[in-house]
Structure formats: structure tokens, C-alpha cells
């Protein structure tokens, strides 16, 4: 079931945007780094901060899962990168 869900995402775009969302905003510091520093300093996180952590972390996790699924498909004989309308067959 998870593999079927992961197959719905285009690998290159998902890895690119998921990875970018994981490290955003780059300046002044990524949100995940900022929230980790807050936790290490003993600062309590508001609910919006926890949502922010989960949202940014989820982008990175999705990118990693799609990347691993793509490598798995390539090892099993490859994902067909051509769609029916690209090669003329239907």
C-alpha cells in the first residue's frame, strides 16, 4: 500500500521540492535547526511550532521514501520512464 502511494509521486520533483522544504528557509537558519535549538535551550514550543516541525520534517521524509522507492524499482528492472503518449503507443 505504501509503495503504491509512493509510486504516485514523480521522483525528481518530489525529491527536489521535498528536500528544499526540509531545509527552508535557508536564511537566517532552517526552521528545523531553529526549533531544535529552542528545545535544547528548554524553550517551550507553541502548537504552531510543533506543526512547523512536523510539516518540514514530513517533506524530507517523503523525499527520502520516494528516492528509496525509485532506487528499488530501478534495481528490480527499472521504472518505465516513458508514458504511453510520449512514445506514441496507447
Q: Measuring CA to CA, which residue among 65, 57, 50 is closest to residue 22?
A: 57
Delimit the domains of the chain by residue range: 2-76
**Confidence grade of residue 81 (pLDDT, cut at 50, 70, 90):** low
pTM given for the model: 0.68
Per-residue pLDDT tens for 1-28? 888 888 888 888 888 888 888 888 878 8
Amino acid at each position: 500500500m505504501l509503495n503504491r502511494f509512493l509510486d504516485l509521486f514523480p521522483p525528481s520533483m518530489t525529491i527536489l521540492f521535498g528536500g528544499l522544504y526540509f531545509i527552508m528557509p535557508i536564511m537566517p537558519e532552517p526552521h528545523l535547526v531553529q526549533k531544535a535549538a529552542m528545545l535544547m535551550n528548554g524553550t517551550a514550543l507553541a502548537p504552531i511550532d510543533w506543526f512547523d516541525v512536523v510539516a518540514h520534517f514530513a517533506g524530507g521524509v517523503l523525499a527520502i521514501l520516494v528516492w528509496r522507492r525509485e532506487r528499488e524499482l530501478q534495481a528490480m528492472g527499472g521504472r518505465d520512464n516513458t508514458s504511453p503518449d510520449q512514445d506514441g503507443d496507447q
